[in-house]
Amino acid sequence: MRSLLRHGGLLVGLLMLAALALAVSGFALFGRQDPLRQDLPGRLAAPSSAHWLGTDEVGRDTLARIMSGAIITGEVVLLVSILAVPVGMLVGLAAGYRGGALDIVLMRVTDLFLALPKLLLALAFAAALGPGIENAAIAIAITSWPPYARIMRAETVLLRNADFVVAAVLQGASTTRLLLRYILPLTLNSVLVRAALDMSGIILTAAGLGFLGLGVQPPAAEWGAMVAGGRSAILDQWWVATFPGLAILTVSVAFSLIGDGLRDLLDKRAR
């Protein structure tokens, strides 16, 4: 706890996410505005006591849609993490421990994915898979695993010839035990830091897909789609696109602060 308090950025990022989580929970329990209910006579209404952040182009409450969009964004981040992190770790472990031809093949495939722009690659996969939250998560996950493979491969190469690993081999430890008991636990810090830093990129990529109409489909509230819906009225009704954009910015900054703080806290070499 003392280490956490010494890292102001990490603490600020955690507090920002906690505040958002409390706001979303409070809205889900006590919110009176339906994020899907349209009110055409009240379209593009300015922020007021009735609608704290105004209404969008069809009269839906902007605050309610931002809170609903936070849940969707969280689902995308969770799905991408579940899909991308284990795949990248498995590829890196196999390449780093076995070496040889397997290492060359797996790392060249990883390099191929890293050489392509992440957003364009996600757009291509999303267009091929079709719109929707699951397909958007799969498209982002396909482009997100290579950094984890690189990290795991580098950490595994450093550890596979360590004295304690050699001693375990001499004692008859199996490959599975070596990887799961001796090598994997020592690589988790680096993977955790990378995952926290990647959250911002995942959120921005998901928002980009939603902005282009390849992510979560209407009438569901998604921050990128909300920004796209308000771009035509940005000069006169600035709140329609500005507040969802600020939500994207706030959560991205929070995860960046958490990632930087975790790197300083967990990386012995950085300390």
What pLDDT score does 137 carry?
Answer: 92
Each domain of the chain, given as residue ranges in start order, spans 10-18+59-266
- What digits encode the pLDDT tens for the residues 103-123? 999 999 999 999 988 888 898
What pLDDT score does 252 carry?
Answer: 94
Q: Which two tokens stand for residue 221?
A: 């509230």
What pLDDT score does 267 carry?
Answer: 66
What pLDDT score does 218 carry?
Answer: 80
Peptide bond into 41 cis (omega under 30): no
Contacts of 107 (CB under 8 A, 6+ apart): 95, 149, 150, 153
Residue type, 269: R
Q: Where are the alpha helices (DSSP H) in the chain?
A: 2-6, 8-30, 62-98, 100-115, 118-129, 133-144, 146-159, 163-170, 175-177, 184-211, 223-230, 239-266
Please give the model's pTM, rounded to 2 decimal places.
0.87
Helix (H, G, I), strand (E, B) or coil at 130: coil
What pLDDT score does 271 carry?
Answer: 56
What pLDDT score does 116 carry?
Answer: 87
In angstroms, the CA 2 to CA 192 distance is: 20
- What digits encode the pLDDT tens for the residues 124-137? 999 898 888 889 99
Which one, of 186, 192, 196, lies nearest residue 97 by Cα?
Answer: 186
Share of the chain above pLDDT 70, in %: 98
CATH of domain 10-18+59-266: 1.10.3720.10
Q: What is the CB-side half-sphere exposure of residue 244 using CA atoms within 13 A?
A: 33
In angstroms, the CA 142 to CA 121 distance is: 9
What pLDDT score does 266 carry?
Answer: 76
Average pLDDT for runs of 10 along the chain of length 271: 77 92 88 85 88 89 92 92 94 91 94 89 89 89 93 92 89 88 89 90 91 85 90 86 94 92 73 56
* DSSP category for residue 53: T
Q: Are 117 and 202 in contact (CB under 8 A)?
A: no
